[in-house]
Structure 1
Amino acid sequence: MSSLTEFQLLTVLAQEMNMRKAAERLFVSQPALSQRLQNIEKDWGTKLFIRSQKGLALTPAGEHVINFVNETLHREDEVREALHALQNEVHGTLKIAVASIVGQNWLPQVLKMFIQRYPQAKISLITGWSSEILKAMYEDQVHIGIIRGTPDWKGVKIHLFKDGLYLVDTEITKPEQVLETDRPFIQFKSDSNYYQEIQDWWHRKFQTTPKRTVVVDQIETCKQMTFNGIGYAILPSITLNGAEKDIFKVPLLDENGEHLSRDTWLLGYESAFELKQVKAFVELIQEFIIKTGK
Structure 2
Amino acid sequence: MSIKNKKIKLPSGDYMPLVGFGTWLVKGRESTLKTLDMALEAGYRLFDTAAMYNNEGDIGDALKELLPRHNLSRKDIFITTKLYPEDHGKADKAIESSLKKLDCDYIDLYLIHWPGTYGKSEHAKMRSKSWEQMVECVKKGFVRNIGVSNYTVRHLKELLNNDFGIRPAVNQVEWHPFCHQKDLYDFCQKEGILLQAYQSLGGAGNRDLLENENIKNIAKKLGKTPAQVLLRWAVQQNVAIIPKSKTKEYIFSNCELDFTIPEEDMKTLFSFKQTKYDWDPNTIP
Pairwise TM-score range, normalised by the shorter structure: under 0.3
- Normalized per residue, which structure has more helix? 1
TM-score (norm: length of structure 1)? 0.23
Which of the two has greater strand per residue? 1
If asked which structure has higher relative contact order (CA below 8 Å, sep 6+), I would say: 1
- Structure index of larger Rg: 1
